[in-house]
Structure 1
């Protein structure tokens, strides 16, 4: 049986999905900014068992990623959950369908600008746009590419002005908004690159 985090009917919940490989302060700032600008009741951090667009060889142990994500998501209105592992989902489209079947909350998918740029490569990406309203948060070096991406162009007429992100949810999807925010330089890729020499050196101690 699917175990969802505690929440109330019609609450606004941000779904912040990703590998979090590893989670870092940049992720936390995105979640905080999204919660404030979108006027969310909760932000659920959905730790994916495996991103289908990335190599499993580059993905750390699931339990380790969950533990670090819980450490980074230190806020009373943040919840780290293994929903995708519970339902055996590797695809966002599947996860969203299951969540909508099991809850009447108002869900908003939160993603970084880099994810919008590659959204057209996601499994059933048009179904994702049709099922869930989406908030896209700026990331260093990705904003221009994201806003000129296939997904952004196709759904340009469904974009909500960035100065009114709280309006997301007032109409049925597809609806999305691009939110500018103070940018941070952290990235999971860079952190993994730094960690590799450390792990290699630790074998000799």
Structure 2
């Protein structure tokens, strides 16, 4: 069984996340993709980060009709901050029958050398890099292909044209997020007045 690990804060999950994962299932030849909700990203300082249980609830709601896309709280029980190497090795011990691949955006690949034990990840796990629209100097880019090790795959998927940051800003500004997040997620956000204040 081949499973892709799609890690993120998902603060909140949006339609771009879901569409990308559905595309990666075929492009990367995966049986399932596990949305690994991160309780604490070591490279991010996000004061607006919601409690992990609420973010997990939204991911579960968004994926309720997608049997091959799975919401995972696996990192909740691991030491923090959430280092990907620790997560992957723990998963491999817990599920020895599964081949895990790491799914990351082109922006994260550009700074992958900063990740904890990045060389060990490259040496031991397949990596699938997808293009991503994001703020910053690497917006909409992935690194050139001759720079990557042989078992790193560059996925030909559409660019994400939506971000969680954009969703939060629209909510804080009193604007609609209809069509940006799954209806189930929009209902949770609205009912609980999540992200209602500006940061």
TM-score normalised to structure 2 length: 0.77
Task: Report the equivalent of 2:67.
Answer: 76
User: Within 2, Cα distance between the matches of 1:88 and 1:46?
Assistant: 15
1:194 to 2:190 alignment:
no
| Bigger proportion of residues as helix | 1
Deviation digits for residues 101-159 of structure 1 (CA, Å, limit 9, x no counterpart): 1222111111111211221221121112122110011113647753059xx73xx3x23
Between the aligned partners of 1:32 and 1:126, the Cα distance in structure 2 is: 28
- Residue number in structure 1 paired with 2:84: 92
- How far 1:182 moved relative to its partner? 2.1
Q: Figure out how many residues of one structure are paired with residues of the other and give that number.
A: 171
Task: Give the whole-Å Cα distance in 2 for the aligned partners of 1:191 and 1:143.
Answer: 18
Unaligned runs of 5+ in 1: 1-10, 160-174
Calculate the TM-score normalised by the size of structure 1: 0.75
Cα separation, partners in 2 of 1:33 and 1:117, compared to 1, 3 Å: same
SS where residue 147 of structure 1 aligns? coil
Query: Which residue of the partner structure matches residue 146 of structure 1?
Result: 142
CA separation in 1, counterparts of 2:110 and 2:19?
20
With 90-99 and 121-130 compared, the bigger mean Cα shift is at 121-130
Contact 2:133 2:140 in 1 (8 A): no
28 and 189 in structure 1: CA distance in 2 versus 1, 3 angstrom threshold: same
The corresponding residue for 2:183 is none
Name structure 2 gaps, 5 residues minimum: 175-195
Q: Is the 8 A contact 2:20 2:160 kept in 1?
A: no
Shift of residue 77 of structure 1?
1.0
- Paired residue for 1:179? 155
* Equivalent residues of 1:50, 1:56 under 8 A apart: no
Q: Could you tell me how far apart the structure 2 residues matched to 1:32 and 1:81 are?
A: 16
For the Cα contact (< 8 Å) 1:96–1:131, is it kept in 2? no
- Contact 1:117–1:145 (8 Å) recurs in 2: no
